[in-house]
Amino acid sequence: MAVPFLSGFPLIGYRQVRMSLRFPSTLALSVCALLTTACMSGGRAAYVPSLQAEPALRVYDTKAQKFIPFAQLATAIASKDLVFFGEQHNDPATHAAETAVLAALGERRSRVVLTLEMFERDVQPVLDQYLAGTISEEKFLAAARPWDNYTADYRPMVELARVRGWPVVAANVPRRLASAVSRRGLAVLDTMNARDRGYMAREHSCPKDAYYAKFAESMQGHSAGGGPPTAADQAAMAQMTDRFYEAQCVKDEAMGEAIADAFTRSPKGTVIFQVDGAFHSDNGLGTVERARRRVPKASSVILSAIPVDDLSKANGDDKRSTADYLLFTRAPKK
């Protein structure tokens, strides 16, 4: 069965991912790995994603300035060393697209490493134990502090990696340490014990650049109302923005370092697939800049998911600087 088209461009959903399709034989893999138990090695049960929703996707190539088939996207990004997927945390269709991209990369590259914002560095040992099959999923989840939407949205990727024997990297800093930075600034790094300091990046850079300007703009929506701000209000807001930005930087530095380390330590032919909130990777800022700084010779590509109400009206022209490829998804119904 061919993938149906919308306005001349491919419309991709879970049911298309289950059938044949314009995803090459990736689907033989992803269907086998994600949607059945018969294909699992060692008799381990696979995750069966919910098929209640019909997530859909249109892919926009910002350089070519046109919509392209998913298979073309998959082939293009598979030639890169680092693939950044900037997600919308609350969009089910975005998460469906992430899993499809991961499966497609695995079909085209000999080895994949999945790096995730959603797990923190101190849980790497228990994550490794789960991937190796030495502890149960129950014990893994009890110790790994997964996000509330892990089962629905991130478990499919982790399970695919587990089946294929791919490493999964817990890339983020522990929340308690990022919180400490947000209260006391980067100076708190000098007061951390050796264990906690080891969960942070080895080097930090937090300049007031374009990323800072973008972050500061986003913070404006968090300021308190109640009339025009006084000079004291503005000073307090600026101080708070700086501290929160430094906390943002330590997350980006940790993830950038985790990506770079995974790339450096992996065999030739490995692709690193990083999943994070789009703010961390859009416009080549944040985590992307930190990773590129560490491995400047690695080739990279940025994807950014954008939920829209009407896929037929998706327009990437005004968002071309955001990423190399825009993945328009069908927004959840309100």
Residue type, 167: P
Helical axes 92-108 vs 70-77, angle rounded to 10°: 60
Contact 146, 29 (CB under 8 A): no
**54-68, 170-184, 245-259: segment of lowest average pLDDT:** 54-68
Q: Rounded to whole angstroms, how far apart are CA atoms 10 and 101?
A: 15
**Fold category of 5-171+270-330 in CATH:** Rossmann fold (3.40.50)
Q: Give the type of residue at 162.
A: R
Evaluated on CA atoms 29, 34, 37, 42, the torsion sign reads positive
Q: Residue 48: pLDDT band by 50, 70, 90 thresholds?
A: very low
Predicted model pTM: 0.82
Cα-trace Rg, the chain:
20
Do 56 and 329 contact (CB within 8 A), yes or no?
Answer: yes
> Interhelix angle for 124-132 vs 155-164, to 10°?
60
Q: Enter the DSSP assignment of 94.
A: H
Q: What is d(CA 160, CA 137) in angstroms, rounded to the nearest whole number?
A: 14
The whole-angstrom separation of Cα 209 and Cα 230 is: 26
> What would the pLDDT profile of 64-102 be if each residue is shown by its tens digit?
999 999 999 999 999 999 999 999 999 999 999 999 999
Instruction: State pLDDT tens for residues 189-243.
Output: 999 999 999 999 999 999 999 999 999 999 886 555 555 667 776 777 788 999 9
Beta-bridge partner residues of 274: 84, 115
